[in-house]
Structure 1
Amino acid sequence: MATRRLIAVVVLVPLLAALALWAFAWPAARTAPRDLPLGVAGPATATAQLEQQFARHEGAFEIHRYADEAAARSAIENRDVYGAVVVTPEGPELLTASAASPVVAQLLRQAVTEQATARGSEVKTVDVVATPASDPRGAALSSSVLPLALAGLVAGAVVTLLGLRGFRAVAALTVAAALVGVVAAALAHSWLGALTGNWWAEAGTLGLATLAVSAAVAGLAALVGPAGIGAVAFLVMFLGNPFSGAASAPQLLPEPVGAVGQWLPPGASATLLRSVSFFDGAAATGPALTLTWWAVLGLGAVLLGNALKERSKTTASASDSAEPALTPVG
């Protein structure tokens, strides 16, 4: 038995290390635009050459055409595109949104500036939706993904290990997530100034992100036992966190990593938090529904697991009482 345990440790530790390196290092090493939504605005004759230049980067950009600068700005504010190049009589103008992704904003500045320099012109850059001055690189928002995931994992594990079941477990998970949301909003918004949207919307987002993870942990554990804690922890920490695109953008990650990351709580929470904090809730429906489904299914699993255990106990009790009593032989 001791030999088997030794072999298991020797094999599993390198395997987990390799898996962690793959999950975290591979997307980071392959960061590049992939169908990145980008707008071009101006007369068709003036933007045709610009579109051809972007088309040379095959598969890098998804071009959206707009009539003028106002339409391009509106598209950026609605999170339809990450930026836009506007052709004007004075020369090209680049519209960016560093609040959507500082990494993408920098990438667009480099790409458009290089093209303009090759033509002998200069590019005027306007940050339509900028990151807060207290957090110009958006580090606070991207760094919030891991603590929220950890808070959810801890809350779900504690509820499970304390033996809370049914509606008591649901109440504990919900209240804990709400408190995490309030505390996190107080830190990120009120203290650090890294979030600038509606305070309560941000607190709700942070709380929902925590509940999505904690409910999944407690729900799966209620159905399959303590192993459920490890399964959700693996899914959230080894896949959800590196695949979230919080530090860059989903469209900069290798396919299908970017899309998969948005189906998991860390990616959905980062996208939703950007929307409610910097874009007045634009494009918030998708990630909000993703987190809600995780929370609802998790809490439903908590109640279902409790009901199955109660039914099992009732069946066992009925079976015991149905056994015939032994009567002495006269």
Structure 2
Amino acid sequence: MPAAPNRRAVAVILLVPLIVTLSLWAFSWPAARIAPRDLPVGVAGAAPVADQLQSRFEQREGAFEIHRYADEAAARAAIEDRVVYGAVVVTGKGPQLLTASAASPVVAQLLTEAVKASAPAGTAIPVTDVVAAPGADPRGAALGASLLPLALAGVAAGALVTVMGLRGARAAVTLAGASALVGIAATAIAHSWLGVVTGDWWTEAGVIGLTVLAIASAVGGLAALVGPKGIGAGALLMVLLGNSFSGVTSAPQLLPEPVGLIGQWLPPGAGGSLLRSVAFFDGAAAGGAALTLAAWSAVGLAAVLAGACRRPEPGAPAAPSAARREPALSS
């Protein structure tokens, strides 16, 4: 048996378990370590009861980031602006809890359980969902599940542009056009059919399209600069790390550090956060995520354009050229 096929066989035998191990680590480890880490929570009301509530949160060192507010109205405004995930409000009838299941159903449930567990036995804690998740997706399962198809769509677009030999401006326009159509198609399904997002239709389509473009241009840009192997590197970055570190199914502040922060620097995590903002919070706290997606798109498209000046490697797909005309045969 030739040596080269033997080496390829050994490479496959070693590579497949390695990929599986990395996948299990990336997806299972953050999920198994979900817990609040500097989770923004509000406490509203006058001292000394509000001070006692704050001290109870602070007993769990590093778990919560406490924001103090004068009254319930200020706490509600902070929730609607995505400054905090929820707030405990001191009233004349006792404490009440304000949550936002649209921001994260997991956090809303966690806060409800934590506040009720710390209250004296037999004390009823009223819970008000200030920004509720849509009735079609109360647990956020559909929204979380939509992120992986978008990541795969972006990777597929970048890979197809490379495999089909498109380069330079033609490749960039193709990536932008495909991403825009994905945004329209995905919004038609998620908004018009399933009803799992409820914001402005075209804004949601733009966010989804921008998310796909950031992923697609990153994959296409890597492939344009380093060759077809850039497709694999881009896929691992966007799907293996970007999707599993996104925090869309829970919250970035529930993931182990620095996983939550890294996830928000990658397009899948930034896209998920931006989609929540425009779908449920009228665009509140959307600036950082929008800037992240725009930066990935700009750098990726610049790499695609720069790759057009690079000489193709031997065996790499070549751009289609005009067929040469054969000279006519004379009798």
Q: Distance in 1 between matches of 2:52 and 2:120?
A: 15
Cα deviation for residue 307 of structure 1 reads: 2.6
Residue in 1 that maps onto 2:321 = none
Q: Where does 1:167-316 land on structure 2 (aligned, <5 Å)?
A: 167-309=169-311
Larger mean Cα displacement after TM superposition, 273-282 or 108-117 = 108-117
Alignment gaps of 5+ in structure 2: 313-331
Identity of counterpart residues, as a percentage?
Answer: 66
Cα deviation for residue 237 of structure 1 reads: 1.2
Q: Distance in 2 between matches of 1:197 and 1:11?
A: 47
Cα deviation for residue 259 of structure 1 reads: 0.2
Q: Distance in 2 between matches of 1:15 and 1:135?
A: 36
Q: Where does 1:70-89 land on structure 2 (aligned, <5 Å)?
A: 70-89=73-92
Match of 1:34 among 34, 37, 49: 37
- What is the identity, as a one-letter code, of the residue corresponding to 1:26? W
- What is the identity, as a one-letter code, of the residue corresponding to 1:164? L
- What is the identity, as a one-letter code, of the residue corresponding to 1:190? S
Does residue 113 in structure 1 map to residue 116 in structure 2?
Answer: yes
Q: Distance in 2 between matches of 1:219 and 1:172?
A: 13
Alignment gaps of 5+ in structure 1: 311-330
1:62 partner SS: strand
Cα deviation for residue 254 of structure 1 reads: 0.2
Cα deviation for residue 15 of structure 1 reads: 1.4
Residue in 2 that maps onto 1:5 = 8
Residue in 2 that maps onto 1:61 = 64
CA deviation profile, 1:45-84 (whole Å, cap 9, x unmatched): 2211111111111111000000000000000000000000
Q: Distance in 1 between matches of 2:87 and 2:12?
A: 52
RMSD (Å) for aligned C-alpha atoms: 1.1
Q: Distance in 2 between matches of 1:36 and 1:68?
A: 20
Match of 1:102 among 102, 105, 114: 105
Match of 2:18 among 9, 15, 20: 15
Q: Distance in 1 between matches of 2:199 and 2:286?
A: 13
Whose helix proportion is higher, 1 or 2?
1
Cα deviation for residue 140 of structure 1 reads: 1.7
CA deviation profile, 1:241-262 (whole Å, cap 9, x unmatched): 1100000000000000000000
Q: Distance in 2 between matches of 1:10 and 1:141?
A: 36
- Aligned length, in residue pairs: 309
2:195 partner SS: coil
Cα deviation for residue 3 of structure 1 reads: 2.5
Q: Distance in 2 between matches of 1:117 and 1:60?
A: 21
2:284 partner SS: coil
Q: Distance in 1 between matches of 2:13 and 2:306?
A: 38
TM-score (norm 2): 0.92
**Which stretches of structure 1, 4 residues or longer, exceed 4 Å deviation after superposition?**
none
- What is the identity, as a one-letter code, of the residue corresponding to 2:175? L
Q: Distance in 2 between matches of 1:238 and 1:182?
A: 25
